[in-house]
Structure 1
Amino acid sequence: MSTARPSPSERAPMAFTCEDVGRGAFAAWTTFMAILLAVIATSGLLGRADLPMTLVGLGYVAIIGGVISAIVTVLLSPIAWLLGSLLRSIRQLSVHVVAFALLGAGTGAGVLLLSGTDLVAMIFAGWAWPVIVATTISVVAGWAWAVRHARRYHADPATDRRALTRTDDDAAFEDHALED
């Protein structure tokens, strides 16, 4: 008497590919940049700074913040991949959201610590919270984007890029020639 083996989707309901991790990392980075630039623009305009200085500040923040956050995103993508791998058999989305939110909060706190600032003083002064909240939102948004893609495209073999990229163009051409 044999027992039916669970399908791969039942064993790993939250499975993903490296492409999904890259897509999630890019979504996290763009979300962070949008939050960062919106906060700088709002604080510059509400702080009664003139428009040209606000635009110059936005330019500097976009360049410096964009490069630093891109480096952090690339360096931490393997950790996100590892976290996703550990959670791939857990179906509850809330567990994933909490885990990736903690990764985001840790990322924000870690970047502040590496920048040489006194994290405790920044927390009590109120300056650390926007960074930690922005990184938390960004990492969760990147995870959500990757999950949305994985569920949408990997569920249907016609749109699953993993299945589509396995085709060999030469073999397909040769098979087509034999069919004629």
Structure 2
Amino acid sequence: MNTHITLLFSGLAPLLPFNTVILLFLSSTGPSHPYFPHHLAVPPGAPEPNATELSIVQLLQGVPLGVGQIYACNAFGPPSSSWGAVLIYSPLLGGHALLGSGLGTLAGVSLSVRQAVLYSGLSGFNGALGCMAVGGLFFTFSWRTHLFAIASGFLSAYVDIALSNLLGTVSLHTHWEFIL
């Protein structure tokens, strides 16, 4: 598969950027492709057949997993080390990362997204990014920027879920369908 992309890219490199070549390649693959099969896009707000109760333990594990999803890690060990590295670099950013991931998970619970999305941290990573960016990266920390970071964490999580639902209704894939 890598040789196909390499040959395709080397032939189209003078005309198109690499991202466009990859998107063309992926859009031309079908459901029987061994590496990138197409699946039906399901919006994250779609009901699950037997989703009756939330597991609080798995929901709380989804909060640090949301920080790890920034780096596309969905196991519990790598997100812990990623968060630890952020915490060593800046305790303020580390705190806002967990806060934002928790806010994104709360936003996902409030919109009743699928439980697999909540438990894997996918509903919290945009909240973590928004909260980190406003709470300690681009602005000087004060109580106003902290409140703005909380609002940014909620807003970025809600916009991500809304955009995923919108794209899912027209059968376009989002990042959630590729990871789950």
TM-score, normalising length from structure 2? 0.28
The structure whose RCO (Cα within 8 Å, separation 6+) is larger is 1
Bigger share in helix: 1
Task: Indicate the structure (1 or 2) with the bigger Cα radius of gyration.
Answer: 1
| TM-score (norm. length: structure 1) | 0.28
